[in-house]
Amino acid sequence: DMPPPRFETIRRAGKCFLAASGREWGGQVRDLSLIVPGENVRARSTWREVSCWTGFCHCVKTCKVAEMSVKGSFQDADKVRELAKKCDILTLEVEHVNAEVLEELHQQGVPIQPLPFVVKLIQDKYVQKVHLQKHGVPLPDFEKVETEADLHSIGEKFGYPMMLKSRYGAYDGKGNAVVPNAQGITAAFEKLGGKAGKKLYVEKWAPFKMELAVMVARGVDETMNVTMRTYPVVHTVQRDSVCFTCLTPPVGVTQKQQELAQKIATDAIKSFGDARGIFGVEMFLLEDGSVLLNEIAPRPHNTGHYTMEACGVDQFEQHLRCVLGLPLGDCQLRVGGAMMVNILGQGETPEMVTKTMAPLRRALLVPDAGIHWYGKDGCAKGRKMGHITVTGFTPASALEEIRPVLVAVDGDDA
C-alpha cells in the first residue's frame, strides 16, 4: 500500500490547472503551497476546491484561493486558450464547457483529460445514450424528439409517464419534464423550450426501486496501460430531482446487484477508450434486480462526496491521480458505512441562511461527521451550499447517527 501522495508529489508531477488550494487530507489541512496566505482554508468546500483547481472562477472569492486563475466563462474559447497556456494539463469540474476549443487544443498537443471527445459526447445526453447503447450498456428506451407530434407517437410506444429531457446543459433535474399523459405533452414540450428550438429527447419511464451510483476511476500505469478502480455502490435519493442523500453500502441491495451495478458502470467507462479521470455513473435498480444506466458525469460527482471521509483515497485526489498518470489510490471503504446529506439553500434572507445552516450546527454534535460548507456568495433556494457525511460501523449506524441532522434539514416544517 502506497502512502497517500502529498500535495507536493502531485505538484511535482505537473502543474495542471486544477492543482491548487485547500483540500483537506484526512480531516487535516496540510501545507498546500498554492494557497494564498491568510485564507481560511478549513472553510473551503469540495466544490469550491474543485473550482479553484480548474482555475476558472465565477466569483472573486474563488480567485483568492487559487494560485492562478483566468476569470471568465468556460464557454469562452479565448479564455480557455489563455488558461491552457498556463497549464501542463487541462481537466474539468463541469462538463458544460466549450468542447470545440478543447478539441482544437487537444489536436495542437495540449494534454486534456478526460479526452475532449468524451466531454463532447457526454454533453449531449442523447448522443451519450446512443454511444452507450452501441456499446451494449443497458438503458431505458429513448428517442430523439424533433417536434411535438413526435411525442404523441413515441408516447403510444413507450406508454406514460415518460421523461422528456433536454439534450444539453441539464443538471439537478433542470432539463427534465415528466410527461404524465398525452394531454401533458404540450406543457412539457414548452417547459423545456421545444417550441423555441431547444434540442430534446425522451426516455421511457424507469420504474426504479432505487437509484444507485458508482464512481469509476480510470488512470494509467507507468507503461501507459489503462488501470481502473471502482468505488462502492451508493444508494442515492433525489428530492425534486436533486441529490438529497447517499448511503453506502446500500441497504436492501444484494451483493450480486451491487456487483452488477459496478460492472455496468465500469463497462460504460471502458467504452470511452483512453479517456482518463473520475466518472460518476448514475443508475436505476429495478424491482426485478436488473440495473439500467441513467447518465454519466465526467468528473467528481455529488454521489462521490462521501469518499472524503469514507474511502482510502477520495474522488478528488483520485481524479488528480487519474489525469496526471499517477498510481491510483484505494477506493475501498475504511468504515462500515457512510451517509451523506446535501445542504440546499433555503433563501437569501439572514433568517433563511441561519435555517440553512441549522443541520451543520447539529452535525457538530455527531461524533463522526464531516461538515462541508462551500462558502458561496448567496443562499438561493435550492442551491447546493454544503454537505455533511456521517460514517459508522455499519450503514445502519451511519443512518442512525445522521438522523438528527436530517431532521434539522427539514426544520420546523417537517
Q: Where does this chain bind ligand ADP (CB under 6 A)?
A: 140, 163, 165, 170-173, 175-176, 203, 205-206, 211, 238, 241, 282, 294-295
- The distance of closest approach from Cβ of residue 64 to Mg ion in the complex, given in angstroms and rounded to an integer, is 31
Rank residues 281 and 408 by Cβ distance to Na ion and give the closer one: 281
Rank residues 30 and 198 by Cβ distance to ligand ADP and give the closer one: 198
Question: Identity (one letter) of the amino acid at 135?
Answer: H
- The distance of closest approach from Cβ of residue 141 to ligand ADP in the complex, given in angstroms and rounded to an integer, is 9
- The distance of closest approach from Cβ of residue 49 to Na ion in the complex, given in angstroms and rounded to an integer, is 20
Rank residues 51 and 294 by Cβ distance to Na ion and give the closer one: 294
Binding string, residues 38-77; x marks residues near Mg ion by CB under 5 A: ----------------------------------------
Binding string, residues 264-303; x marks residues near Mg ion by CB under 5 A: ------------------x---------------------
User: Contacts with Mg ion: how many residues (CB under 5 A)?
Assistant: 1
Rank residues 301 and 372 by Cβ distance to ligand ADP and give the closer one: 301
Question: Which residues contact residue 29 at a Cβ distance below 8 angstroms, ignoring those fewer than 6 apart?
Answer: 22, 23, 41, 42
What's the CA gap between 32 and 108, in Å, rounded? Answer: 32
Stretch that binds Na ion, among 16-24, 35-43, 166-174, 358-366 (CB under 5 A): 166-174
Rank residues 171 and 393 by Cβ distance to Na ion and give the closer one: 171
Contact 164, 180 (CB under 8 A): no
Rank residues 282 and 309 by Cβ distance to Mg ion and give the closer one: 282
- The distance of closest approach from Cβ of residue 202 to Mg ion in the complex, given in angstroms and rounded to an integer, is 16
Cell of 347: 433563501
State how far the alpha carbon of 32 is from the alpha carbons of 25, 279, 308, in Å.
10, 25, 17
- The distance of closest approach from Cβ of residue 206 to ligand ADP in the complex, given in angstroms and rounded to an integer, is 4
Stretch that binds Na ion, among 18-26, 56-64, 167-175, 383-391 (CB under 5 A): 167-175
- Residue 95 contact partner, candidates Na ion, ligand ADP, Mg ion, none, CB within 5 to 8 A by sort of partner: none
What's the CA gap between 359 and 343, in Å, rounded? Answer: 8
- The distance of closest approach from Cβ of residue 209 to Na ion in the complex, given in angstroms and rounded to an integer, is 21
- The distance of closest approach from Cβ of residue 234 to Mg ion in the complex, given in angstroms and rounded to an integer, is 13
What's the CA gap between 106 and 130, in Å, rounded? Answer: 24
Residues at the site binding Mg ion, with contacts judged by CB under 5 A: 282
Residues at the site binding Na ion, with contacts judged by CB under 5 A: 171
